[in-house]
Structure 1
Amino acid sequence: MDMINKLPPIIIESILCLLPIQEAARTSILSKEWRYHWTKIPKLAFHEDAFQVSSYGDELSTLEETFDGIESQRKGMTKRCKFFYAIYQVLLKHEGPIDEFTLSMLPDKTCVEIDHIISYLSRNKDVKKLKLDVAGYRLPSSFFMFGHLTDLYLGCCELDHRPTFKGSYYITSLFLEDATTTTSTLVHFLSNCSLLKSLTLYTDDIQDIGNSTITNLFECLPVVENLCVWLTAMKCCAQNGVPRVLPSALVHLKYLYINGTDLQYGLSFILLLIRSSPNLEKLKLKVSDQVDCEKHSLTREDHSDIWLPRLNKFEIFNLNSEKLELDFVKFILATSPVLKKAKISLWKDIDDDDEK
């Protein structure tokens, strides 16, 4: 029995989605029935560092050999040209929707090829999950025309102009890692993401432009449930100071992770968030700056309005023996009546006496 050709389409699709795009394209040689299966897979991922070019230099790559009518001059292409050519061919031959699209590469100074890819996807495909890990790439205006995105990851990209799209995005998960942007652009973009449930801001390159405040930022997150931030990113949005409490509480926030915590300068921001998150269930902090906090203190009496009735898990990493850090741990323990798990990881250079 010809079992491989009798597989249900959904099984074939699942198999192909697990393969690198080059290997998925090679399945076209299995049989006539498999020739075009790879053109219908809904998940496309292109990683330049994993793109395979023949070791014989002038020979075609695996993906290029799959395409009909390849011309001899293609053999003389550089690896990057072949990489873009392969992407173009896949997109042109692709049938049906593309649910997920990933592009990871280190671009040249000119990124017109990436602009073309973004423009094509925004106009012709209902992409739901988009991941761009392209160092120094300035997102074109066509990027803001994606109308069906639910998950967005931007790594090392430049988000430096406001969206032209006037409606609302369907984005529920946004991950910005080492991205470059401004406070006004970030707030304007988030204001169009009213369905956002998960936000990760792992970037410290946010320029303070305009009059956007920390309050403006969190007003854009009415239904956020998971929030992960670098403290330095929040400092960029708090040039006008940190309020004691947000005008509107983050009633849906259940998980809060703050990386790069500096309790000497970031304590007011941390207290702002936990004070404004009455339903917080998990709190995770990672201390990065070891500074002298002996002159500062934190007591339950100073912040008697903070109460965490639902917090059941607390983690803090790189804890030193500074008084303020120990006061903070005691404070969280004292204000969390249903806490079940607490994990305290000490700073690696702490000596035995301080550990005791």
Structure 2
Amino acid sequence: MPPNGKRQQLSPPDVLSNILESVMDDILMRLPLRDAVRTSILSKKWRHNWCRLPQLRLDEALWKTKRDLTDLTSNFTKIIYHILTLHAGPITKFTLSIPHLDGCPNIDNFFYFLSRNDTQHLVLELPTGGNRYKLPSSFFTCLHLRHLTLNNTLFHPPPVFKGFERLISLELSNVTISSELLGSLISHCLLLEHLVLKDSHDSNPIEISAPKLRSFVLSGKIHLIHLKHVPLLSNVSYEPTEFSLETEHDLAKIFESIPAVENLRWEFSNQDANPGPIEVIPTRLPYALNCLKRLYLSRIFLQEFFEFSFALCLIRSSPNLEEIEIEACASSDEDFCEPVPRDAIDEIPASFSDMTFNHLRTVTIYDVAGGRAEMQLIKVLLAKSPALIRMVIKPCGMEDKKSFKILAEITKFQRASSKAEVVYNVD
């Protein structure tokens, strides 16, 4: 009580208004845009904070219900208008993700706004149905871009456009662009380190020259890709939708341009069911993949002669492997399946007779069916890996009796490493 005996009303501290601006910005950037705008009612200090957000994401979360989507053009136009008129300061990253909408709204004017705000990171995931959105001329004036992701767009720049000189990351998925233009675009991105190409519909070869490229992901027709100059390329992921070999040199050409590859991933599930005769798969490549440390084979049918031989060729050609991961496929189309013959299985140990995997430490094989080819591969890797620490084997769905029979057989295999632990995972 004060000396005069009268109570004093103490106002509670305004916690929200006393938060540091850096903390406010961090909170706002972690919220969906819809919720970030709603914070303007918290206090006077928060009223316009969202207007200076350096990162904006416009996605389908902006609409409450499916009913809101029916009036998309009107709603979206209002949102874009509010951002254009109220936002202050640079927008370093902008994401527009509306792939499931029926049509693409008019966003041409927004690219002019982004180009004037020195946007460095741009992600466009546009509707998949109907005609693809043609990027306006103002898009090609966003010369500060360092990261660019485009989905479902038509890329046709004006004649004066030479490229994005500051770009270090480029991801194109379902983008309509000619092979010549794509090759020119990449060659003018002298700082490019990361490249993703998915579902290109151009049937002409693409020549890629990128002296600083370190990571490359391809989902499409692998025979159309010519890696001309990529001396630093160390991470490669191939998901070929068409893959056929006519001669042994065809397989060698795929890997001869990436001598620095350290991590290789090959996805089998989307490729052509008839890749070619087994005779075109050599015992090993004409050169060693000496830099390859991690090999990941996904959805490979180890009981099919061509795919199994492909896997053996890569393993035999990679003497310095540190990690192997194989996601086997338990079944395949029998009309195109050529089983691994018995004599080929019996010859596997001899084909590894001059090899020792002195750096191999971990091996993981999923969906093992217990076929003779699979078991022989497991046996060889255990016998030829003196530094092996852990091998994880997960059988595919099968009855317990067969599963335990596979385990009993594996436990009898000779191990070159006294520290090797074999983990047999059963659901």
TM-score (norm 2): 0.59
1:223 maps to what in 2?
Answer: 232
The question of 1:317 aligning with 2:366 is answered yes
- Tell me by how many angstroms 1:40 deviates: 1.4
1:347 maps to what in 2?
Answer: 396
> In structure 1, which of residues 233, 236, 243 is the aligned counterpart of residue 252 of structure 2?
243
SS state of the match for residue 366, structure 2? strand
> Take 2:62 and 2:18, find their aligned partners in 1: how far apart are those partners?
31
Output one character per residue of 1:244-271: Cα deviation in whole Å (capped at 9) or x when no partner: 6414412454655443435544567656
SS state of the match for residue 113, structure 1? coil
- Tell me by how many angstroms 1:19 deviates: 1.0
Does structure 1 conserve the Cα–Cα contact (< 8 Å) formed by 2:358 and 2:385? Answer: yes
Does structure 1 conserve the Cα–Cα contact (< 8 Å) formed by 2:363 and 2:392? Answer: yes
> In structure 2, which of residues 97, 110, 119 is the aligned counterpart of residue 104 of structure 1?
97
1:26 maps to what in 2?
Answer: 38
Structure 1 residues 210 and 197: alpha-carbon distance in aligned structure 2, compared to 1, 3 A threshold: closer
SS state of the match for residue 241, structure 1? helix
Does structure 2 conserve the Cα–Cα contact (< 8 Å) formed by 1:183 and 1:237? Answer: no
Output one character per residue of 1:22-53: Cα deviation in whole Å (capped at 9) or x when no partner: 111111222222122101122211222x2234
2:300 maps to what in 1?
Answer: 261
1:294 maps to what in 2?
Answer: 340
> Take 1:8 and 1:184, find their aligned partners in 2: how far apart are those partners?
51
2:82 maps to what in 1?
Answer: 89
Does structure 1 conserve the Cα–Cα contact (< 8 Å) formed by 2:104 and 2:126? Answer: no
The question of 1:210 aligning with 2:222 is answered no
2:287 maps to what in 1?
Answer: none
- Tell me by how many angstroms 1:20 deviates: 1.0
> Take 2:176 and 2:321, find their aligned partners in 1: how far apart are those partners?
29
- Tell me by how many angstroms 1:327 deviates: 4.5
CA RMSD in angstroms, aligned pairs only: 4.7
Structure 1 residues 247 and 20: alpha-carbon distance in aligned structure 2, compared to 1, 3 A threshold: closer
Q: Aligned runs of 1:107-118 on 2, under 5 Å?
A: 111=104, 113-118=106-111
Output one character per residue of 1:43-82: Cα deviation in whole Å (capped at 9) or x when no partner: 211222x223489x8xxx9xxxxxxxxxxxxxxx813430
> Take 1:180 and 1:320, find their aligned partners in 2: how far apart are those partners?
42
Amino acid at match of 1:96: G
**5+ long unaligned stretches in structure 2:** 1-12, 208-221, 264-292, 407-427
The structure with more radius of gyration: 2
Query: Is the deviation greater in 115-124 or in 94-103?
Result: 115-124
- Tell me by how many angstroms 1:336 deviates: 5.2
Does structure 2 conserve the Cα–Cα contact (< 8 Å) formed by 1:183 and 1:206? Answer: no
2:211 maps to what in 1?
Answer: none
> Take 1:328 and 1:127, find their aligned partners in 2: how far apart are those partners?
48
- Tell me by how many angstroms 1:14 deviates: 0.7
Structure 1 residues 25 and 247: alpha-carbon distance in aligned structure 2, compared to 1, 3 A threshold: closer
Does structure 2 conserve the Cα–Cα contact (< 8 Å) formed by 1:193 and 1:220? Answer: no
Q: Aligned runs of 1:82-231 on 2, under 5 Å?
A: 82-106=75-99, 111=104, 113-118=106-111, 120-122=113-115, 124-128=117-121, 130=123, 132=125, 134-136=127-129, 137-138=132-133, 140=135, 146-155=142-151, 157=152, 164-166=161-163, 168-172=165-169, 190-191=186-187, 203=198, 207-210=202-205, 217-219=226-228, 221-230=230-239
Output one character per residue of 1:149-205: Cα deviation in whole Å (capped at 9) or x when no partner: 4444455x3577699534645324x5566777777666655555565555666x566
- Tell me by how many angstroms 1:287 deviates: 3.3
> Take 2:72 and 2:35, find their aligned partners in 1: how far apart are those partners?
18
> Take 1:166 and 1:215, find their aligned partners in 2: how far apart are those partners?
22
Structure 1 residues 178 and 36: alpha-carbon distance in aligned structure 2, compared to 1, 3 A threshold: same
Structure 1 residues 273 and 183: alpha-carbon distance in aligned structure 2, compared to 1, 3 A threshold: farther
- Tell me by how many angstroms 1:121 deviates: 2.9
Identity of aligned residues (%): 28
1:36 maps to what in 2?
Answer: 48
1:284 maps to what in 2?
Answer: 325
2:289 maps to what in 1?
Answer: none
Equivalent residue pairs, number: 333
Q: Say which structure, 1 or 2, has more relative contact order (CA 8 Å, 6+ apart).
A: 1
- Tell me by how many angstroms 1:214 deviates: 5.4
> Take 2:380 and 2:185, find their aligned partners in 1: how far apart are those partners?
36
Output one character per residue of 1:316-338: Cα deviation in whole Å (capped at 9) or x when no partner: 33333344444444555566554
Does structure 1 conserve the Cα–Cα contact (< 8 Å) formed by 2:233 and 2:258? Answer: no
Structure 1 residues 217 and 283: alpha-carbon distance in aligned structure 2, compared to 1, 3 A threshold: farther
Does structure 2 conserve the Cα–Cα contact (< 8 Å) formed by 1:131 and 1:154? Answer: yes
